[in-house]
Amino acid sequence: MSFITAIATANPPHKLSQEAIATFMLRSMQLGAEDARKLAAIFRMSGIETRYSMLEDYGRSENFTFYSNTSTLSPFPSTKKRNEAFQLYAPLLSTEAATKALRQSALLAKDITHVITVSCTGMYAPGLDIDLVDSLQLPLSVQRTNINFMGCYAAFNALKAADAFCKTGEHVKVLIVCTELCSLHFQKENTEDNLLANALFADGSAAVIVEATSHSTNRLHISTYYSELARQGNKDMAWSIGDVGFEMKLSSYVPDVIRSGIKELTATLLKKLNLSLAEIQHMAIHPGGRKILEAIEQELGLQKAQNEWAYHVLKNYGNMSSPTVLFVLKEIFDRLGKKNDKESILSFAFGPGLTLESIVFTYHYHG
């Protein structure tokens, strides 16, 4: 079996209001009056109040430290400069989240047998995995796995890999670290994709401890998982490497694609456990955007209150790509408390492909 015994999160020091970011975007994208109104409306209806970034420039109107001090930010930072910033900042944020998770689980660094790193916003080698070996003083024999460029659903792939590792022996203890610095890849070209992406994405890190056996009093069992591709959405969400950063393809049709496949996905997943949706106590949905959450609620017949923690994370952190669903799961896990009965959590995440991922977690308390 495999149990999640700790979930910890970390965010950069720069907490920015959605209004301040909108002001920066409007100025630097050089939008006309109509497009400026469109961008302001997208920001206003996003469901986001604050986001975090490793860059303080998004809260400034001058004296930029990462971007050029011109009205158009020209010359725009190259992909090399953005990736160098990732290599500088990502280990710091990852170490903070991982240290919290180890402390929460009461494990020592020497106990970790596997480390899995997840990111789609920067790559280098020797990579983030080895930086964590050094900063956390993990065993030099720790088995390392990197999951790159899979987008918002990648945390689920990490959890499935950890589950597979745990089945190889009772001694297995896996550290997962998902870190994304989405704000490094701001694009100023006036396209629908950029308008949507600039209104949503932010920076954050989440770390999870998964153990084959555990004496922890409260833990989440990874019960089952299921994934499908909605191929009709192949062109609606994508992530590619450009000359001036990574470029997001994000269509406004994504909620409709998710809506078309979410009911069948849910039915197939729950059938594996002989559960009905009515028997699920908690929902942990990746808040890719407000319209995605609303589409799922409408299709599955959920009340907005059942999605409380997804809206909470969206409001306070924005979409941080891969760690975001773990932020939602942490909110639920931290509040389950000392309950002797088992409770189920249904979780979804989505990404390029268009990929629909689902997991059922079962909460256990052993006092």
The pLDDT score that the predictor gives to residue 249 is 87
The pLDDT tens digits for 313-331 are 999 999 999 999 999 999 9
Task: State pLDDT tens for residues 284-316.
Answer: 999 999 999 999 999 999 999 999 999 999 999
Whole-prediction pTM: 0.97
pLDDT digits (tens, 9 = 90+) for 119-158: 999 999 999 999 999 999 999 999 999 999 999 999 999 9
| Per-residue pLDDT, 367 | 66
Q: Give the pairing type, strands 3-10 and 14-17.
A: unpaired
Question: How far is the C-alpha of 162 from the C-alpha of 173, rounded, in Å?
Answer: 9
Summarised one tens digit per residue, pLDDT across range 148-202 is: 999 999 999 999 999 999 999 999 999 999 999 999 999 999 998 999 999 999 9
Please report, rounded to a whole number, the percentage of residues in the chain having pLDDT higher than 70.
99
The yes-or-no verdict on residue 339 having pLDDT over 70 is no
pLDDT at 342: 85
Whether the per-residue pLDDT at 340 is higher than 70: the answer is no
* Domains of the chain from N-terminus onward: 218-365 (3.40.47.10)
